[in-house]
A and B are shown apart, each in its own frame.
Chain A
Amino acid sequence: MKLFKEILFPLIAVIAAFIVGGIVILIIGDSPIQTYKLLLGSAFSWPDGIGYTLFNATPLIFTGLAVAVAFRCGLLNIGAEGQLYVAAFAAAWVGMKFGAPDPGNTFVSQIAHLPGIILVPLCCLAAIAAGAIWGGIPGLLKAKFGSHEVINTIMLNFIAVALLSYFTQYHYKVPGDPIMQTAPTSPSANLAHLGKFIPGLPARIPLNLAFILAIVACILVYIFLWKTKWGYEMRATGANPSAAEYGGISIRKQIILAMAISGGLAGMVGINEVLGYRHRYYDGFSANYGFVGIAVALLGRNHPVGVFLAAILFAILLRGGIFVDAFTMHVSKDIVDMLQGIVIVFVAAEAMFRGPLKQFGLLKRAKV
């Protein structure tokens, strides 16, 4: 029964969003059924559909987990976007500076030539640490000055984008390159594509070890939140801060810790993006991963299993969007952004479904 209730509202929110989206599609003059068939059905072909869907899901799992951890502590981290940018740049910087240079990089000088077995973990740590610091700043500001983390994380998103654009443009871009991207990272910093290990999955599909890392992160977040004392204290702070404080938990410490962990998780997007896919920092690479992470966390009820499933759902939509663009008359792939937005509003306002559900007897009336 509890599980049923947990699944019920997200499911209704998604269905409601699809109905609203369907009406928009109808008004535009396309067939909603055909559009949704393309949107949802394109993800299940082997190997391309599944490979790309899981690749698209990887960053969303990380940002979804990031938002979920902060949520459990009663904080809203809208800054995952900035945190993942800073982390991606940190990973790329370590990848450029500490490994044997890529032939395409005759510009950035090296500090050391580390082998891949040391360099890859070092890049990952750099990404996580950078994300954790960028997430920890609003945590610190909230703990020390009481300033609202929502505003501060939004501001830090913009600061991150401007700062990284400066570093890319003035210091790490190969001169003459018209694209805003850094020089390539060392080939020893590359993360293996899963095509290497799975027969039938071609190596051109960028699905890489970061996806495995995302699954590990889901498990670790579950263990941390529900099986450790620290996680318990964090959830207690989120559930009732004054009771937690009365129980001897330092709320300030929890806030800083939760935001840093959240930032670190968001930062892991950089591992997928830089080490596993582009092998350089690319200005403006994120397709709103940080903001979609909010939708993922909400739809997944801030639980790692839910986050995983919600991330897969949104990744299916992202994959399907390409086909909608190509094979419908009027609807473009922007329908995916639209649906995501509507899902968020419906999940947030889930109370609107409560009345009708009670009427149909699907939900017991709450005993007050």
Chain B
Amino acid sequence: MRQILTLSLLFSTIRLSTPLVLAALGGLYSERSGVINIALEGLLLAGAFTAASVTYYAHNPWVGLGSAIVAGAAVAAIIAVACIRYKADQVVTGTGINILFIGLPAVLSGALFLSSGSTPQIPKENLLPVLSRFLPFMPAWRVFTDVSIISLLALVVVFVTRYVLYRTPFGLRLRAVGENPEAADAAGVAVNRMRYVGVIISGALAGIGGAYLSIGQSSLFTRNMAAGRGFIALAALIFGKWRPVQTMLACLLFGFADALTIQLQGVPVSVKILRLAILLVCALLGWFITHQLTFIRSALTRALLGITLGVAAGFSILYFATRGLGMVEIPVQFIQMIPYVVTIIVLAGFIGQSRAPKALGTPYQKEK
């Protein structure tokens, strides 16, 4: 276990969370304005492909990053026009964009680079830099600074978003059109214009996330390289209750699960850890179940009852299931599932209430 819980796990978590944070914050701007953004996956892919191909030709990652932002915003503008102007179903449009960006990058890279879906390798000096390039630390500190500049940017964006959302008139209006567009309209806010802005910002941020995938974390674009990260970002947004800092923490948790998956691949761990994990899961499950028993008034009683029952159930499972085991291999698939299971549990209202912006998903029709 000690080899697993090292600093490298921490930095791996930061690296893997970065695209999630950017995409999820993008989703936050869109969804807070009332437009469901299920196309984060497609936007990540659009950004990743644009960044890789432009950097390949321009030999400059900043140009690549800039064009990824433009590409993300442009694709988001298409979504915005379809959903806001023509009142298209937001989920269906998003799904269309996701399918489009499985195909389009592959078609273009086939034509540009004569390959089936990937761009050529970009030399290391043309990739987005890691922080150690700017900091004259001793080599021993390298592990601390082997983090991309985009990770730092993501952190900044989180706090900027928090400030913008809760401390500026723009943020107030954005939240207002997502919660109660009629009232916002009556107060003189241009509802649809705010929504256009929200969706386009979301595309730009997801574009940065995509650029990080192709010219930050790796050195080329490969077919479908977002690999479901857009959907995990969506899950993190829900888990984070549509709030910037909580969303970032959710992304870090999901990134941690991802990092753990990589580290645990094929590594046998002591059965004690497995037992501990099963007990923990059982205790939580017991708590969730008893949480439903509203006839028990005190939440504390419910929690204690549930945890006790869960631990008891866990012990009995352990007694039969793990007798005589020494070292076991934890199937990584179960760790991969964590973000998705957590999201379903959160959405069902087990861990506090996660409430979506009230007008999420409904186009706004001005009263005539």
Q: Which residues of A contact B (CB under 8 A)?
A: 24, 28-29, 76, 78, 141, 144-148, 150-152, 154-156, 158-159, 162-163, 165-166, 169-170, 288, 291-292, 294-295, 298, 330-332, 334-345, 347-352
Inter-chain contacts of B106 with A (CB < 8 A) = 332, 334, 337
Given A151-B238, A334-B103, A338-B107, A348-B92 contact (CB < 8 Å):
yes
The chain B residues found within 8 Å of chain A, CB to CB, are: 36, 38, 78, 81-83, 85-89, 91-93, 95-104, 106-108, 110-111, 116-117, 228, 231, 234-235, 238, 331, 333-334, 336-337, 340-341, 343-344, 347-349, 356
Summed over the interface, the residue pairs from A and B with CB atoms below 8 Å come to a total of 160
Chain A proximity of B342: nearest CB distance (Å):
9
Query: In the assembled complex, which residues on chain A have CB atoms less than 8 Å from the CB atom of B333?
Result: 162-163, 165-166, 169
Tell which of A28, A331, A337 touches B100, judged by Cβ atoms closer than 8 Å: A337
Question: For residue B99, which residues in chain A have a CB less than 8 angstroms away from its CB?
Answer: 288, 291-292, 295, 337, 340-341, 344
Chain A residues within an 8 Å CB radius of B36:
150
B98 contacts which chain A residues (CB < 8 A)?
291, 341
Q: A332-B116, A337-B99, A341-B97 are in contact. Are A141 and B344 (CB under 8 A)?
A: yes
Instruction: List B contacts of A150 (CB < 8 A).
Output: 36, 38, 91
Across the interface, which residues of B come within 8 angstroms of A163, CB to CB? 333, 337
Chain B residue nearest to A140 in the complex (CB): B348
Closest 5 CB pairs of A and B: A341-B100, A337-B103, A344-B96, A338-B103, A334-B106
Contact B38 A338 (CB under 8 A): no
Known: A151-B235, A344-B93. 16 other contacts (CB 8 A): A28-B111, A145-B347, A147-B349, A150-B38, A155-B235, A156-B344, A165-B333, A169-B333, A170-B331, A291-B95, A298-B92, A334-B104, A337-B99, A343-B96, A344-B100, A345-B78
| Closest residue on chain B to residue A27 by CB atoms | B111
A76 and B91 contact, Cβ closer than 8 Å, known pairs A151-B347, A162-B333: yes
Complex: A351 Cα to B88 Cα, angstroms = 8
Residues of B within 8 A of A165 (CB): 333
The residue that A331 contacts in the complex, of B81, B82, B101, B107, with Cβ under 8 A, is B107
Instruction: Report whether B104 and A155 are in contact in the complex, using a CB–CB cutoff of 8 Å.
Output: no
CB-nearest residue of chain A relative to B100? A341
Q: Within the assembled complex, what's the spacing in Å between the Cα atoms of A54 and B220?
A: 38
Contact A348–B107 (Cβ < 8 Å): no
Query: Is the beta-carbon distance between A351 and B87 smaller than 8 angstroms?
Result: yes
Say yes or no: A349-B93 contact (C-beta < 8 A), given A165-B333, A331-B107.
yes
Q: Given the complex of chains A and B, what is the CA–CA distance between A144 and B350 in angstroms?
A: 12
**Cα–Cα distance between A141 and B349 once the two chains are bound (Å):** 10
Residues from chain B with Cβ under 8 Å of A336 in the complex: 103
**Which residues on B sit within 8 Å (CB–CB) of A347?**
92
For A288, give its contact among B87, B96, B102 (CB under 8 Å): B102
Residues on B with beta carbons closer than 8 Å to the beta carbon of A337: 99-100, 102-104, 106
B118 CB to nearest A CB, Å: 12
Q: Which residue on chain B has the smallest CB distance to residue A29?
A: B111
In whole Å, how far is A84's beta carbon from the nearest beta carbon of chain B?
Answer: 16
Q: In the complex the two chains form, is B344's CB within 8 Å of A348's CB?
A: no
Task: Report A-chain residues with C-beta under 8 Å of the C-beta of B238.
Answer: 151
Q: A78 — which chain B residues lie within 8 A by C-beta?
A: 91, 95
| Bound form: Cα–Cα A330–B336 in Å | 37
Cross-chain contact A351 with B86 (CB below 8 angstroms): yes
Q: How many angstroms from the CA of A342 to the CA of B42 in the assembled complex?
A: 13
Given contacts A166-B331, A166-B334, A334-B103, are A349 and B343 in contact (CB under 8 A)?
no
Expressed in whole angstroms, the Cα–Cα distance for A295 and B36 within the complex equals: 19
Residue numbers in B under 8 Å from A159 (CB-CB): 337, 340-341
Q: Please tell me which one of the listed residues B85, B88, B336 contacts residue A345 in the complex, with CB atoms under 8 A apart.
A: B88
Least Cβ–Cβ distance between A283 and chain B, in angstroms: 11
B91 surroundings in chain A (CB, below 8 A): 76, 78, 150
Asked whether, in the complex, the Cβ of A348 is within 8 Å of the Cβ of B88, the reply is: yes
Q: Give the residue among B110, B116, B356 with the most A Cβ atoms within 10 A.
A: B110
State A364–B214 Cα separation when bound (angstroms).
50
